[in-house]
């Protein structure tokens, strides 16, 4: 867990986060990566196998970690700035893997909007997801770039049918694969008490939104919430790598755990928030 602080329009804003990752019960290695370093919080889910997926996701988060605004709290950053970084990551992945691997990416940057208000600039490529818990209600901010989501949008299957569809893991956008790499963006004003969940599909493929809402609403410590969600995914089968990042917006909280950049994320972190 980590805290960062700034003051804007009389509001003392601190981002407090926890993170956890596990290779799951059926995968030989963990191809997920994450970055949690103010002001960037993101998860990348590598695809390709034989270590290529891990390379793709690692390059992706490393590119974000080298952004000029890393360490700058509430930077004035927009979607065009992020898209330049994603193009750089896409090119780096192609050079390193020869087009054999790719990665999804989702997350948020804590920015200062044009009005000066602290806001989340949420971004997404692929089927990893970013959610927000507000006043106890959980909303999925991002929209999956996947074949089943397209079928849902066309009314050919229901959201429940999408959960068990045989092609539910087929993504239509990714970085490094030569396919569509364009990200979707959302600018959302920050409110104290909001909780952000950023995760790979290894979590959402095993744990329902209702279960996620229950954990996020009842477990106050973000590191403990991450550990609980990983445990729930493992109990449900753990068929994929599972990576979870929870970010709270608080008015006052002490720092206890350093920022993390985890290319090829390690096993699930203990509830204390310590890292390997």
- Calculate the average pLDDT of the chain: 83
Element (H, E) at 172: none
Element (H, E) at 6: strand 2-8
φ, ψ (nearest 5 deg) of residue 216: -65, -30
The answer to whether the beta carbons of residues 173 and 126 sit under 8 Å apart is yes
Instruction: Give the pLDDT score at 192.
Output: 79
Whole-number percent of the chain with pLDDT over 90:
64
Encode pLDDT of 184-223 as tens digits: 999 999 987 899 999 999 999 999 999 999 999 999 999 9
Encode pLDDT of 24-45 as tens digits: 998 989 999 999 999 999 999 9
Greater confidence (203 vs 163) lies with: 203
Angstrom distance (rounded) from CA 22 to CA 231: 9
Element (H, E) at 120: strand 118-125
Instruction: Give the pLDDT score at 174.
Output: 92
Q: If pLDDT is split at 50, 70 and 90, which confidence band does 98 have?
A: confident
Instruction: Give the pLDDT score at 247.
Output: 97
What would the mean pLDDT of 238-247 be, rounded to a whole number? 96
- Does the pLDDT value for residue 88 go beyond 70? yes
Instruction: Give the pLDDT score at 153.
Output: 61
Domain ranges (residues) in the chain: 2-262
Task: Tally Cβ neighbours within 10 Å of residue 114.
Answer: 9
Instruction: Give the pLDDT score at 252.
Output: 35
- Does the pLDDT value for residue 151 go beyond 80? no
Instruction: Give the pLDDT score at 269.
Output: 34
Taking the model in full, what pTM does it have? 0.84
| CATH homologous superfamily of 2-262 | PPM-type phosphatase domain (3.60.40.10)
Instruction: Give the pLDDT score at 89.
Output: 96
- Does the pLDDT value for residue 183 go beyond 50? yes
In the DSSP assignment, the letter for residue 206 is T
Of 230, 221, 224, residue with least CA distance to 254: 221
Encode pLDDT of 101-147 as tens digits: 999 999 999 999 998 899 999 999 999 999 999 989 999 999 997 65
């Amino acid at each position: 867990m980590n805290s960062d602080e700034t003051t804007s329009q009389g509001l003392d804003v601190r981002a407090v986060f926890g993170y956890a990752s596990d290779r799951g019960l059926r995968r030989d290695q963990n191809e997920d990566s994450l970055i949690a370093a103010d002001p960037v919080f993101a998860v990348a889910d590598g695809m390709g196998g034989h270590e290529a997926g891990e390379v793709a996701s690692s390059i992706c988060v490393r590119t974000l970690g080298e952004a000029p605004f890393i360490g700058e709290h509430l930077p004035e950053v927009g979607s065009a700035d992020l898209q330049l970084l994603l193009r750089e990551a896409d090119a780096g992945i192609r050079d390193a893997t020869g087009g054999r691997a790719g990665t999804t990416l989702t997350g948020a940057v804590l920015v200062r909007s044009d009005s000066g208000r602290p806001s989340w600039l949420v971004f997404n490529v692929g089927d990893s997801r970013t959610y927000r818990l507000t006043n106890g209600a959980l909303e999925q901010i991002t929209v999956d770039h996947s074949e089943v989501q397209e079928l849902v949008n066309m009314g050919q299957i229901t959201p429940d049918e999408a959960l068990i569809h045989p092609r539910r893991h087929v993504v239509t956008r990714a970085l490094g694969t030569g396919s569509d790499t364009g990200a979707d963006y959302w600018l959302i004003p920050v409110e104290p008490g909001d909780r952000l969940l950023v995760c790979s599909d290894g979590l959402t493929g095993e744990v329902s939104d209702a279960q996620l809402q229950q954990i996020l609403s009842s477990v106050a410590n973000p590191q403990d919430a991450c550990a609980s969600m990983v445990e729930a995914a493992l109990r449900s089968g753990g068929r994929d790598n599972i990576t979870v990042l929870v970010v709270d917006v608080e008015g006052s909280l002490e720092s206890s755990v350093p920022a993390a950049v985890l290319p090829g994320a390690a096993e699930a972190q203990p509830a204390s928030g310590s890292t390997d």
